[in-house]
Amino acid sequence: MDLQELKNRAKQEIDKVVDLDEIEKTFKKYLGKKGEVALIFDSLKDLAIEEKKALGQEANVLKQEIEEFFEQRKKEIKNTASEIKQTTERIDITRPGTKMARGHLHPLTLVLKDALKIFQTMGFEIAQGPELETEWYNFDALNVPKDHPARDMQDTFWLRQNMSTNYKKQITNNNKSNKLLMRTHTSPVQVRYMETHQPPLRIIVPGRVFRNEATDAKHEAQFYQLEGLMVDKEVSACNFKAIIEEFLKRFFKANVEIRLRPGFFPFTEPSFEIDAKRADGKWMEIMGAGMTHPNVFKAAGLNVSVSAGHGWCGFAFGVGVDRLALLKYKINDIRLLYQNDMRFLEQF
């Protein structure tokens, strides 16, 4: 075996290679597992000891030399490539960059963020509760009579009872009605909160609610409410009106015409419904409200003996967040808020 000849041949061939792919192939040919150098090492086993030693050493040197040829050539190829790149490719730093498509907040998120901020500056704290509720918190604790139509299958999404006992333990209250439903309003959080917090208190509760009803331009089967509750020693409907007017003024950044109508909710007495005037001059209901019914305080375990001079009183309200969005952005159909049509969403 003429090692010198092999070395020269390898050198010539390696020097002719012009790209890294080809280098790989040539490397295999000479230094691969079945390459020419490996064949030399294989052939050693048939030689006498002395010969084996001598040829073995030479082969090792040859292997190293060929490896160096490869390293050298690789460097050269890389250098030429970067030279070519430098001379042919130029970065024009004066060109304007490609604009990144930026995401933005959904109109409902914008409205919620805004509304929460305004109430927070008025001393309200944010509270939350589960979307999957029990009949007790959603209806019983709120003084809703057993035969109230809202409890009907037509208005409420009831759940089958076979849910994880673990989750059930988290949200239920043992000796009360544990029948599960998707909450139909954010009012249950009033009771949940008062069970664990003593008045005076002011909370605001944003959240998703569900109703088994047909949709139209003003109604969705799933929408957002913002519940408010203020409990103190002396709270009146005047406080409520002042706070709501202040909220609406800041939220719409203009005076919005509103009207209070007498309403009926089992959990407030007296109760009101509040309408706001739309751009087209028509009234739209935006919230229900009223003075907290003593039975709600009782359900939450609070003292309501006003006559003894240490009872609590308060007001509560539930605003339709979607309705606020319709008014603020002059949207004429609530369903647009949930269709994820980019042509609509990109306007916010």
Report the nearest approach of ligand FA5 to the CB of residue 321 (Å).
8
Rounded to whole angstroms, how far apart are CA atoms 267 and 85? 76
Nearer to ligand FA5, 64 or 154 (CB): 154
Compare residues 26 and 292 and give the one whose CB is closer to ligand FA5: 292
Q: Which residues pair with 31 in a beta bridge?
A: none
Nearer to ligand FA5, 14 or 287 (CB): 287
Rule CB under 6 A: is residue 290 a binding residue for ligand FA5? yes
Side-chain half-sphere of 8: how many Cα atoms within 13 Å?
4
Residue 31 neighbours by CB distance under 10 Å: 17
Structure tokens at 218: 């003003």
Residue 39, number of CB atoms within 10 A of its CB: 12
Residue 223 in contact with ligand FA5, rule: CB under 6 A? yes
DSSP letter at 27? Answer: H
141 sits near ligand FA5 (criterion: CB under 6 A): no
- Name the minimum Å distance from CB 289 to ligand FA5: 5
Give phi and psi for 276, each to the nearest 5: -120, 150
Burial class (CB in 10 A: 0-12, 13-18, 19+), 192: buried
**Shortest distance, CB of residue 328 to ligand FA5, whole angstroms?**
13
Question: Which one of 34-42, 55-63, 103-111, 219-227 is the stretch in contact with ligand FA5 (CB under 6 A)?
Answer: 219-227
In the list 251, 320, 326, 337, the residue contacting ligand FA5 (rule: CB under 6 A) is: 320
Which of 26, 138, 143, 187 is close enough to bind ligand FA5 by CB under 6 A? 187
> In this structure, what DSSP letter does residue 139 have?
T
CB of 162 to ligand FA5, least distance (A): 28
With CB under 6 A as the rule, give the number of residues binding ligand FA5.
Answer: 25
Is 285 an interacting residue with respect to ligand FA5 (CB under 6 A)?
A: yes
Compute the least distance from the CB of residue 155 to ligand FA5, in Å.
10
Task: Name beta bridge partners: 318.
Answer: 227, 288
Q: Are strands 258-265 and 222-232 parallel, antiparallel or unpaired?
A: unpaired
Binder of ligand FA5 out of 286, 296, 304, 325 (CB under 6 A): 286
Q: Does 219 bind ligand FA5 (CB under 6 A)?
A: yes
- Give the three-class secondary structure for 301: coil
Gap between the terminal Cα atoms of the chain: 80
User: Which residues on adjacent β-strands are paired with residue 284?
Assistant: 276
Give the nearer residue to ligand FA5 in terms of CB position, either 248 or 286: 286
Q: Is 322 in the site for ligand FA5 (CB under 6 A)?
A: yes
153-186 exposure pattern, b = at least 16 Cβ within 10 A, e = fewer: eeebbeeeeeeeeeeeeebbeeeebebbbbbbbb
Taking the complex as a whole, the smallest distance from the CB of residue 217 to ligand FA5 amounts, in Å, to 10
Preceding amide of 200 cis, omega within 30: yes
- Which residues in 244-283 contact ligand FA5 (CB under 6 A)? 265, 267-268
Does 317 sit near ligand FA5 (CB under 6 A)?
yes
Nearest to 178 by CA among 243, 132, 239, 116: 132
Q: Write the interaction track for ligand FA5 spanning residues 328-347; mark x where CB under 6 A is met and - where it is not.
A: ------x-------------
Work out how close the CB of 219 gets to ligand FA5 at its nearest, in angstroms, rounded to a whole number. Answer: 4
Site residues (vs ligand FA5, CB under 6 A)? 185, 187, 211, 213, 219-220, 223, 225, 227, 265, 267-268, 285-290, 316-318, 320, 322-323, 334
